[in-house]
Amino acid sequence: MRLVFAGTPDTALPSLRTLIDSPRHDVVAVVTRPDAQSGRGRKVHPSPVAELAEEAGVEVLRPQKAGDPAFLERLREIGPDCCPVVAYGALLPQAALDIPRHGWVNLHFSLLPAWRGAAPVQHAVLHGDEITGASTFRIVRELDAGPVYGVVTEEIRPADTSGELLARLAESGAELLLATLDGIEDGKLEAVPQPADGVSLAPKIGGDDARIDWSAPAMRVDRLIRACTPAPGAWTEFRGTRVKLGPVRPAPGAPGLAPGRIAVSKHSVLAGTATHPVELGEVQPQGKRLMQAVEWARGVRPTDEDRLV
């Protein structure tokens, strides 16, 4: 089939590579978000999807909005059979949805109807799900509510961060997306409506949501930090300054500590929660480099009065 691929971040690259390499399909163009500032120098860079497409000699479309008349006209000229989507990052109007004869097929990183929305992997980790996966579905106007073509499952490991889990789903999901497009082309695959029961929402997790509540149980603190790694990054305050924290290790055998209180030894830094302490891993004080918690503690020398808040 003639495909126009829509995607933006690194997460979309395994799918785009898989489709470019497929002998059955022809990726004739990609749609991605406009070039944006990134990195320490805030220079303008193309999206990862745009970079890969340009390397492969594929036309790149960067509409400010997917409803822009010039974009819609170019899409009609290209005449795609289907438009696969992986983390595009913008709403698609009905005028765009109507152009390809097989519609727009989205790869979503959850087992729909669970975790509809922008942050399904983060919410699966945050809520302690043991199994998640990816789904391919036909996009309709309602958010992530279209009929499902196929799914793949993935175990959530006890120490998984959102970044690690998403990386695995991006790879397995790429194969699912290819199999879905093959089945659509063969006329052997039909989408099945999502059940009305079991719907849950996964809104974007912002900076305020990523603040650690040390009065919560250790399990909740652990899940929040892993869910927010690498983005937006879990954080707390120490002596009035923001400190980012990497994944922690629950320490149920350690002596109890009051919520937010710090206990430093030669080889570890413990922080108290509502239940048992957690052992801090990597720490990044505001404006400074990432470091191990023991190194950070040697520099700040916490007292008995100091707390993480």
Q: What is the pLDDT of residue 40?
A: 65
Question: Is 169 a known ligand-binding residue?
Answer: no
Question: Is 112 a known ligand-binding residue?
Answer: yes
Question: Taking Cα atoms as reference points, which of 306, 216, 224 lies closest to residue 264?
Answer: 306
Low-confidence ranges of the chain (pLDDT < 50): none
Q: What is the pLDDT of residue 37?
A: 74
How far is residue 262's CA from residue 287's CA, in Å, rounded to a whole number?
22
Question: Taking Cα atoms as reference points, which of 148, 145, 150 lies closest to residue 175?
Answer: 150
Handedness of CA 37, 40, 46, 49 (dihedral sign): negative
Residue range 63-83, pLDDT digits in tens: 999 999 999 999 999 999 999
